[in-house]
Amino acid sequence: MRGPWLTSVFGFVLLAGIPVLFVTGALSYAAYNPGLGRLNDQTPEKGLLGFYLFDWPTDPSWLYRLTQGVHVTLGVVLVPVLLAKLWSVIPKLFTWPPVRSAANALERLSLLMLVGGAVFEFVTGILNIQLHYVFPGSFYPLHFYGAWVFIAAFAVHVVLKLGSASRALRSRPLLAELRTGLAATRPEPSDGGGLVAASPAAPTTSRRGALALVGGGSLVLFAVTAGQSLGGSLRETALLAPHNRAPEQGPNGFQINKTAAAVGITPQLVGPGWRLELHGAAEPLVLTREQLLAMPQRSARLPIACVEGWSTEDQLWSGLRLADLAALAGLSGAAEVLVESVQPPGPFTSVLLRGNQIRDPRSLLALHVNGVDLSLDHGFPARIIVPANPGVNNTKWVGRLTFRA
């Protein structure tokens, strides 16, 4: 079955999907508001690779849920196509001599970066989806730098191979190939590039069968993955996703990434002695939860969406608008706010939010969800909830807000 035509079919599917993966990944990077500094940006020494073109918006509120859901689900769906593409070009990896010209050397180098980058990005991405943190470092910089290596090699490979791949694809009509069964399957003509075997064995399946196997595999992966992003009754169909079940029943019965116990939250940190520190241009304020509850409460229906691709349906949050807290701190036009959790120090225990996020009337220091107190795992006694914000930046167990001009 191997030959330029089959390789080109898989290649053009990846040509359509991988740019979408890269763009949605870049949007995820922008959603963290990396311009606000190292608290938000987990990619030190990124240089020009860390550019972004706009401040992340708060509207529509489901924006990050959409972009990251597409990123993760598409990445999983493309796994069978990637594996099939790698299988189809295995003979090319063993051609001899390995380098025949300067152009061929460039192609071989791009292939090394392409294959290595693809395997690295897909493996680290899937491990992160499964909450299996076995990386030799933080997932964020590893996946970020790996993406740039991969997309650079991908671009070079497209430039080098697009013409020949287009010709190969036109050499055999797709519909005719889909009507060709095993008995009529014949090798492609020798292409001189090593993809077609010199003495091919009898086929054990047709190209139609190979395409059906790969396409069917992608459809199955979609069916057992997408539900974690789509939510509702489809969530339970996400058999491969860790967040395919509600962790508990009742108003707080929606997904979380890490429990309070997992990050070291103790009753002493969030018990009756808990206080919210409010800093800004005015004198610092120290407020109890009872004092916060006595202030005018606002509500907003917002989802939570995480980098791992899972998201919740809209939940009804209520609490204090960040804009009102900024005014209370003497900075009605605050340009940013530093949000600090009482949890023990670690990644993402603090975050900076932009001025547009503060000003959005749906951005809250939430005290209740769906009409009841936040559960401990959902951030009791107070948490941040901001529309279109990555879940990890909706800080839980908030202990201090520092508004800045």
Residue 317, classed as helix, strand or coil, is strand
Res. 258: pLDDT tops 90: no
Cα dihedral angle (153, 30, 345, 397), rounded to 10 degrees?
Answer: -140
Distance in angstroms (rounded) separating the CA atoms of residues 292 and 365: 10
pTM for the predicted model, two decimal places: 0.92
Query: Is the pLDDT reported for residue 200 higher than 90?
Result: no
Whole-angstrom Cα distance, residue 224 to residue 247? 19
- Give per-residue pLDDT as tens, 114-149: 999 999 999 999 999 988 888 777 888 899 999 999
Token readout for 178 is: 């889909």
Could you give the CA distance from residue 108 to residue 96 in angstroms, rounded to a whole number?
A: 12
What tens digit of pLDDT does each residue of 266-318 get? 989 999 999 999 999 999 999 999 999 999 999 999 999 999 999 999 999 99
Contact by Cβ (8 Å): 343, 397: yes
